[in-house]
Structure 1
Amino acid sequence: MGRELPSGITNWLEDSPLCSRFSHAQIDTSGIPLNARLIGYMSAHTWNFPSNIISLLPSLQHIPLAGSGIDSFTWRPSSTGKYSLKHTIEALALPAPPAPWYQLVWNSLSIPRHRVILWLAVLNKLPTLDSQSMAYKHILNHCTLCLFSGESLNHIFFSCSFTAPIWSHLQNTCGFYTRSQWNDFIFWASHHWSSKSIANAINKLALSASLYHIWVERNSRIFQDISSNQNTVLLKITNSIRERLLPLSLKDGVAARRARQAWDLPSSFIRPPPRPPDEPPLQP
């Protein structure tokens, strides 16, 4: 019941405070201070509000009194009554369908820190030098990877001479091809990789891992003056993909076999077929 709550200013009365039901003059003549605690108006199992307040709002007398337990807080956005950041955000956010690229970014196989970079890229929020140079005139828009052109998402993906061999290798390994514009590619991938096949899951994993390690290499050159060659960056990408796939054990099939061969995975990546119940176990 909230026995210790201020009766006049907290939302205990049908989700509203007592002061919202009466004028200031009525509250003044009732003798109830706004900060008076509810317990002061409880008598045994009945309410003990002033008669003039009861006459104005008879429903007060019909509000059930809870037991004499200790006050506790209930977080209404959460179904359990306990604080939950997820339920709080859902309560504050406007209802809207998921973005078409939701599964492309927020899928269970991609590495969490890789998802964040891909998410920013999908929203065109990565601080590439083309946008930075427009906001700050002293910043020169110069790609630190190839040193030949201005930096943008389209350049990094489709025209940078440093990243071109990396993308080409991954596209050949995964069996997909990029488009000529970043936004067009995201639109295409969001629709063509929507099913929950292992091939699509690996494509999403490869996309986020590639973008992440290329972005790390870009930042390393700008902020630390440390650079790696294309083969080193590609090795980091393939290792992160392979390490993510190693714990998996998939049902035998064409896609699973292709993935095992493409990423040099052990035989444990593919589960053996179940043994028929009447077949005796293999002898060592």
Structure 2
Amino acid sequence: MHYIGNGSSTSLWFDNWYLDGPLLSKWSSRVVYDSGLPLNATFNAIVLVDSWNWAAAMSINLVEIKSRMTSYNPNSNIEDSIRWLPSPNGIYLASSVLASLRASHPLVPWFKLVWFPQNIPIMSFILWMAVRGRLPTRDRIHKYDPEVVTTCVLCNSHLESHAHLFFVCLFSRAIWTQLLNYYGTH
């Protein structure tokens, strides 16, 4: 059984006491008119000691609201309390704010290649940008500034793009080959 406090300061229409959130976030202001209650009504306007005291339903929306309230048991002897809904225990914490704002995504396979404990942050950031195809190559800059020359700055013969710089360009391929030979991995 879910108990609701006395509602002396809880807004009937705007506060989050209802199962689906604030009433006016789900239904139009027409439901206020149909209820016969003012827009600034508090929750205690629909409670009589420990039972509901709604006026006769004048609309299908009010019938739906009332039918979904059967699991609630109002109790005028319980004080109102404030709960932070994104937190499982109702306590406001900065970490619960961050968790509610941050979208959760599964880790990509290359995560540990880029972000590891001994990384150099700027290098990891640049590698992350490269893996995501977000480096400011000339083909990307050209989309925003049509006057930018799009030929590769290294070989001066092809369109500068991520694929060209890392896999096709003869100049960068020669550098990668020398680095791999130097470290004995090629």
* TM-score (structure 2 length as normaliser): 0.59
8 A contact 2:15–2:21 mirrored in 1 = yes
Q: CA deviation at 1:84?
A: 2.6
* Mapping of residues 1-284 of structure 1, within 5 Å: 3=7, 4-18=9-23, 24=30, 27-28=32-33, 30-41=35-46, 46=50, 49-52=53-56, 57=66, 59=69, 62-65=72-75, 67-68=78-79, 71-76=81-86, 78-79=87-88, 81=90, 82=92, 83-90=96-103, 97-133=106-142, 136-144=145-153, 146=154, 148-150=156-158, 151-158=160-167, 159=169, 161=171, 164-165=174-175, 168-169=178-179, 172-173=182-183, 175-177=184-186
Name the amino acid aligned to 1:85: L
Alignment gaps of 5+ in structure 2: 58-62
* TM-score (structure 1 length as normaliser): 0.43
Q: CA deviation at 1:132?
A: 2.6
Q: CA deviation at 1:97?
A: 4.3
Q: CA deviation at 1:68?
A: 2.0
1: CA distance, partners of 2:139 / 2:72: 66
Name the amino acid aligned to 1:8: W
2: CA distance, partners of 1:105 / 1:143: 26
8 A contact 2:155–2:171 mirrored in 1 = no
Deviations for 1:211-240, whole angstroms, at most 9, x for unmatched residues? xxxxxxxxxxxxxxxxxxxxxxxxxxxxxx
1: CA distance, partners of 2:178 / 2:38: 74
Alignment gaps of 5+ in structure 1: 178-284
Over 3 Å counting, the alpha-carbon distance change for 1:114 and 1:102 in structure 2 is same
Over 3 Å counting, the alpha-carbon distance change for 1:141 and 1:18 in structure 2 is closer
2: CA distance, partners of 1:10 / 1:40: 14
Deviations for 1:62-102, whole angstroms, at most 9, x for unmatched residues? 42448325x434142x4454443234333xx6xx6433333
Deviations for 1:88-119, whole angstroms, at most 9, x for unmatched residues? 333xx6xx643333333333332333333222
2: CA distance, partners of 1:126 / 1:149: 20
